[in-house]
Structure 1
Amino acid sequence: MMDPSPAHPPGDLRNWLELPRDVTASILLKLGAIEILTSAQKVCFLWRNICKDPSMWRAVDMRNLGDLPYELEKMCQHAVDRSGGELADINIEYFGTDELLKYITERIHSSINVLCFVEKELISSSQLRCLRLVSCNSISDEGLSEAAEKLPLLEELDISYCSLSKEPLEVVGRCCPLLKSLKYNNQGYRRPRIECDEDALAIAESMPELRHLQLFGNKLTNDGLLAILGGCPKIESLDLRQCFNVTLTGDLGRRCADSIKHLRSPCDSTSDYEFDAEIHDSGSFDDDYPSGFSDIDY
């Protein structure tokens, strides 16, 4: 029996321009915002036309994984403009500033006002749902607070490794009542032993709809955890890795085990954690734990 003829004879090149528009769009989306703006849209007129479609910019991933030779802030503004009010998910990891965050929220807000005037039912699909601001030390308490006031439909927020206090957490909780997922991670320190429940209390008192909470490396204590369990009764997953002031034993441990489906304890493995999980301790172990043991050791 003879082998069937190949779909394309040897040496015959596929014409990518003949692909259906939606297939081409799906391929281009896999490249990411930076690749689209710097290269893909320059290939041909068809690709440029597709790359200008607002539907291509509902999710904008502008994370800076290295020293890229681009003006990322201007590129991000351009991407937001292209979304035409359809932006639902944005990542400005490592390079976000107050000014950029203000630009994003103002453009979204102005687009919604236009859509509201034209067709009211479009409002619910034209609002930012997910915001990721990892390692954005140029974003201040005031900057995040002002942005939160314009994002009432926000559902997911990642503000890990930012220099923020409890105040913007309280504003986020008050202005974003639909928030379901929060990541508020920091570098884990076992020494010096510093206990602080301010973050935990701000979350407990203002975010009752949370389902997913990651507090990697936080300084909360058992009291802070109890406040979260009481104030956020819908939590399904809780990540407390490297929260070395928390001891999940006795009644507290049983309560967590009974009420939380996916629980990561302070000393659980960090092999699947996406950032640097090395513990950077300073000071004397004996100064913090005169007995020679910490609560975690027990």
Structure 2
Amino acid sequence: MASSSSGDGYLSSKKRSSASRSYSPVGQLRNWLELPREVTASIFSLLVATEILKTIRFVCKSWFDICKDPLVWRKIYMYNNGEGVLNMDLDRICREAVNRSCGNLVYVNVEYFGNDGLLKYITNRCGRIKRLRLACCYYLSVEGLIEAIAKLPLLEELDLLLCSFSVVPLEAVGRYCPRLRSLKLNRQCEEWLLDGNAEAIVIAKHMPEIRHLQILGNSMTNMGLQAILDGCPHLESLDLRQCFSLDLEGKLGERCTEQIKYLRLPHESTDDFEFRVCHDD
């Protein structure tokens, strides 16, 4: 799955294997057990939670003890890799990881599983989350997402990737998350023709402090884009790829170029996007 090699810091098994065989400048085998405890805990925090709980902690007693450290669980990466792991097992593992964080969780990533009950469990116990990333979470409801968002006043980054939600949760984000600076909102391909101006208007009205916006595959027109540019004066980066209802040949396109420091246009390639999207025209 694409997330396993994303820029969020996940270390692949190949890289870990290579690292374990690395040598010091004097040609001696590096003993990973000699690393300071806090350094090892920081490294473990970059791994997928299922790997830590099912493999890493059983390597030795020292690592078993380190895996109890809440520092390891400040970031939780969880995804269904399609290898036959049941969603109920992933749910259980994720809850255990949350418990181990002791409320110190700041970043949670859930892909291809999860439901309202799991999200409620996470947010009830961890109110200091700064980044929430939900990808292909088809069993989450609008009501469940709103209830969770209301408990995250420190949220700075929100990614809703290929999830089916209306504009209502976006209004809740604006109401409950005044620190939000980054929003990624990507539709499923079959939803591309839905009215995107409603989302653009909500973003413009309720998220004036946002700095980074990815709204890939949206059907908003120039009216929606105009609202975003007017309502979000601090916007630095804007990803409009596959927003094919936009016409940026005139003054609106010129304004985007002048106002936005990092701009991605509708017909630019989506090859670097980690999930399958509609084909470029």
Q: TM-score range by the shorter chain?
A: 0.7 to 0.9
Are residue 89 (structure 1) and residue 107 (structure 2) matched? yes
RMSD of aligned Cα (Å): 2.2
Per-residue CA deviation, residues 151-181 of structure 1 (Å, 9 max, x unaligned), is 1110000112111101111011111011100
Aligned match of 2:94 in 76, 79, 93? 76
From 57, 71, 74, the counterpart of 1:58? 74
Deviation digits for residues 93-123 of structure 1 (CA, Å, limit 9, x no counterpart)? 11121111100011124xxxxxxxxxxxxxx
What are the Cα deviations for residues 201-230 of structure 1, in whole angstroms up to 9, with x where unaligned? 111110111111011101111100111111
Q: Residues of 1 paired with 2:166 and 2:156: CA distance?
A: 20
| Cα separation, 1, equivalents of 2:230 and 2:251 | 14
Q: Alpha-carbon deviation of 1:24?
A: 2.9
Indicate if the aligned counterparts of 1:190 and 1:279 stay in contact, CA closer than 8 A.
no
Q: Which AA in structure 2 matches 1:64?
A: N
Please say which structure displays the higher CA radius of gyration. Answer: 1
- Name which of structure 1's ranges 262-271 and 181-190 shifts more when overlaid on structure 2: 181-190
1:18 maps to which residue? 34
Distance in 2 (CA, whole Å) between partners of 1:269 and 1:219 is 17
Counting only pairs closer than 5 Å after superposition, residues 127-206 of structure 1 correspond to structure 2 as: 127-188=128-189, 195-206=195-206
Question: 2:42 touches 2:71 (CA, 8 Å); kept in 1?
Answer: no
Q: Partner residue of 2:6?
A: none
Moved more, 194-203 or 73-82: 194-203
- The Cα shift of 1:25 comes to 2.5
Per-residue deviation, 1:73: 0.6
Partner residue, 2:8: none
* Aligned residues with identical type, % of pairs: 53
Q: 1:224 to 1:140 in 2, by over 3 A?
A: same
Contact 1:187/1:279 (8 A) holds in 2: no
Q: Is the 8 A contact 2:47 2:77 kept in 1?
A: no
Q: For residue 7 of structure 1, report the CA deviation from its aligned partner.
A: 4.8
Residue type of the alignment partner of 1:204: A
Query: Which structure 1 segments of 5+ residues have no match?
Result: 110-126, 281-295
Q: Mind listing any 5+ residue stretches in structure 2 that lack a counterpart? A: 1-24
Deviation at 1:247, TM superposition (A): 1.0
Deviations 1:102-154 (A, max 9, x none): 00011124xxxxxxxxxxxxxxxxx1000001111111111111111111110
The total of aligned residue pairs comes to 255
Residue 267 of structure 1 corresponds to: 267
Could you tell me how far 1:189 is from its partner in structure 2? Answer: 6.8
Letter matched to residue 238 of structure 1:
L
1:190–1:101 Cα change, 3 Å: closer
Q: Are 2:171 and 2:202, in contact at CA under 8 Å, matched by a contact in 1?
A: yes
> Helix, strand or coil: the match of 1:159?
strand
Q: 1:37 aligns with which of 44, 47, 53?
A: 53
Deviates more, 1:221-230 or 1:69-78: 69-78
